[in-house]
């Protein structure tokens, strides 16, 4: 296991919730986790890889996954009967990543290290300042309208210099290293994410509305003027909030409010700025 992932071994000894399956290289950690879940691996199994050959993002996009620098991890979940919409699992995972990254930034902060803002962008992105730091890909297997299992996949760009990303993947991608000039211990970031995720996942069962409220509070998407790229075309308006499924309440320019269950959101400017 790479040196900066070795702190996972100590965490494995003390956690009752998580069990790690570590791989040097996989196609996609989500695919491995889905296969393990089908074979009966239980809630809390975490698949981590140092690199992915076919990392997947939303809408079938490829996720750039070079070795030695980033986090690629997928958590198997057996939620049983749920009273909340499954999309809220993605919001809980986003909150956990933001919380964990903030806590790692805080413990590494000292003079000369720029302070940065980490925030979730609807529906599944993690942003750092103006660049995409990571993303969540949640997938579920259902049978007779019941969720058999879910996999929460997380990709976070940690020590990868964003200017070395191949042009095809570059878009507005960033990394913790590119934003701060600091190198982070991936194992510590993972441990923080998992600790935080178990709190937000528990909160989801107890009080899903508070997960939505927390997400809205820290997301720059809400109250911003945005372009939504939808299967029906592009629309412009204000992101007003989320409904109880985690879908976006969107105020069109003419004043009509619609609900978007999925879309690509481009932030054009802050609503009030
Ligand atoms: C997105 O923003 O489109 C979501 C990206 C999710 C990438 C992660 S990396 C770990 C896990 N395995 C995958 O193949 N995808 C997710």
Q: Report how far apart the first and last C-alpha atoms of the chain are (Å, whole number).
A: 47
Task: List all residues whose CB is within 6 A of at least one atom of ligand 1.
Answer: 28-30, 52, 55-58, 61, 63, 72-74, 124-125, 135-137, 153-155
Cα–ligand 1 centroid distance for 46 (angstroms)? 14
Average pLDDT over residues 181-209: 97
**pLDDT mean across residues, the chain:** 94
- pLDDT tens for 51-62 read 999 999 998 999
Model confidence at 261, pLDDT cuts 50, 70, 90, reads very high
Cα–ligand 1 centroid distance for 252 (angstroms)? 30
Q: What is the pTM of this model?
A: 0.96
d(CA 220, CA 121): 7
Share of the chain above pLDDT 70, in %: 98
Is residue 100 within 8 A of residue 196, CB to CB? The reply is yes
Tell which atom from ligand 1 comes closest to the C-alpha of 135: 2
Q: Measuring CA to CA, how many Å separate 95 from each of 19, 123, 169, 204, 218?
A: 21, 12, 25, 11, 9
d(CA 93, CA 23): 22
Question: CB within 8 A of 40, min separation 6: which ones?
Answer: none
β-pairing verdict for 71-77 and 45-52:
antiparallel
At residue 270, the pLDDT reads 54
């Amino acid at each position: 296991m790479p040196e900066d992932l070795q702190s996972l071994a100590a965490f494995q000894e003390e956690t009752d919730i998580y069990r790690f399956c570590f791989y040097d290289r996989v196609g996609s950690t989500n695919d491995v986790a889905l296969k393990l879940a089908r074979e009966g691996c239980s809630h809390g199994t975490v698949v981590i890889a140092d690199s992915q050959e076919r990392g997947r993002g939303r809408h079938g996009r490829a996720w750039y996954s070079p070795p030695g620098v980033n986090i690629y991890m997928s958590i198997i979940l057996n939620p049983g009967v749920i009273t909340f919409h499954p999309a809220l699992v993605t919001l809980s995972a986003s909150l956990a990543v933001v919380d964990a990254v903030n806590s790692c930034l805080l413990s590494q902060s000292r003079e000369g290290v720029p302070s940065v803002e980490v925030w979730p962008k609807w529906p599944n992105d993690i942003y750092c300042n103006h660049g995409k730091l990571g993303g969540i890909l949640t997938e579920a297997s259902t049978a007779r309208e019941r969720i058999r299992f879910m996999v929460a996949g997380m990709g976070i760009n940690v020590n990868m210099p964003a200017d070395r990303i191949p042009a095809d993947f570059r878009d507005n991608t960033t990394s913790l290293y590119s934003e701060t000039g600091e190198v982070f211990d991936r194992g510590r970031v993972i441990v923080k994410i998992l600790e935080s995720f178990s709190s937000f996942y528990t909160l989801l069962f107890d009080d899903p509305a508070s997960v939505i409220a927390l997400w809205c509070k820290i997301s720059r998407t809400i109250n911003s003027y945005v372009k939504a790229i939808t299967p029906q075309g592009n629309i412009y308006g204000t992101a007003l909030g989320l409904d109880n499924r985690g879908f976006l309440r969107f105020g069109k320019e003419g004043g009509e409010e619609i609900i978007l269950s999925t879309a690509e959101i481009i932030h054009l400017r802050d609503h009030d700025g």
